[in-house]
Structure 1
């Protein structure tokens, strides 16, 4: 299985985890960064760096691109949304003059046919595979391309980790897309 497929499987197991600022424990609580940290730990065993305590409004006060800088240190850049895959890390900027401050994992909404893979191109795949599995679609080596992701998994304040549609309002706020490395 590819790293992206592993990321999606892991991210799916976090859905329903309550929102907790600075949390990073599956089933107990996490924020958007905690979700990414938890996925990283499950993939690689340890986090790449210690995350200092941060206030909820850190991006507004600091004025530094801390998330983008950390992603650049530990992830692989994806050049464009069109090149992105389910399982890639996505960072969002809520205002054009502020630092990126929200993170999620790109995914796809479940197929209309429930992921049974009719092979009719409904999900961007004509091979009859189970395109709609684990929130991400078919990611075998011979079918890595498909339509761009149309959803993302993220920790939503005052709620929980959830799968949300990547509607135009979210898409226009994308600040960067990064791929988890094959190994660390």
Structure 2
């Protein structure tokens, strides 16, 4: 039997993501205005929605091409979020990206209108940029935040 969970209002997710714009990049951090990485942005949105995180993530590397064979980020997203088909993703969805063809999905961001993406990049911090074809080609999964 499939468990059906209601998602949170996507407009609220977008508003929270926008409140992180301009936060500098800091690997493994998750503090709005001070420093975050892409996972930290997703964690911060979760905290704003649910007041606490369900788990603390283990240490992780910046290496896009890890060859462990495990989809750690994808597995965690499936545990706590609501997976939807990529084609059904609309503003407010968390998108996972595979940055290296044979590597695991190790980047994420929030889809917003435009279409655009709010995500944390090492070179720019939390930014909004167009959801262009290169990003769409790397997108492998989409999720909604549960209510």
TM-score clears 0.5: yes
Runs (4+) off by over 6 Å: none
Deviations 1:109-152 (A, max 9, x none): 3xxxxxxxxxxxxxxxxxxxxxxxxxxxxxxxxxxxxxxxx211
Aligned-pair Cα RMSD in Å: 1.3
Aligned to 2:94: 89
The answer to whether structure 1 residue 60 and structure 2 residue 60 are counterparts is no
Partners of 1:107 and 1:94 lie apart in 2 by 20
Shift in CA distance, 9/15, structure 1 to aligned 2, threshold 3 Å: same
Partners of 2:83 and 2:65 lie apart in 1 by 21
Aligned to 2:110: 105
Partners of 2:40 and 2:18 lie apart in 1 by 14
Q: Which runs of 5+ in 2 are unaligned?
A: 1-7
Deviations 1:68-120 (A, max 9, x none): 10010011111132x112011000001221100100000013xxxxxxxxxxx
Could you tell me whether the CA contact under 8 Å between 1:91 and 1:177 is conserved in 2? Answer: yes
Q: How does 1:147-162 map to 2 (within 5 A)?
A: 150-162=115-127
Q: How does 1:173-184 map to 2 (within 5 A)?
A: 173-182=138-147
Partners of 1:175 and 1:80 lie apart in 2 by 7
TM-score, structure 2 length as denominator?
0.90
Aligned to 2:28: 22
Larger-gyration structure (1/2): 1
SS at match of 1:40: helix
Pick aligned residue for 1:170 from 124, 135, 139: 135
Q: Which runs of 5+ in 1 are unaligned?
A: 110-149
Shift in CA distance, 63/164, structure 1 to aligned 2, threshold 3 Å: same
How many residue pairs get matched? 140
Could you tell me whether the CA contact under 8 Å between 2:86 and 2:140 is conserved in 1? Answer: no
SS at match of 1:17: coil
Partners of 1:23 and 1:50 lie apart in 2 by 11
Could you tell me whether the CA contact under 8 Å between 1:33 and 1:102 is conserved in 2? Answer: yes
Which structure shows the bigger proportion of residues in strand conformation? 2
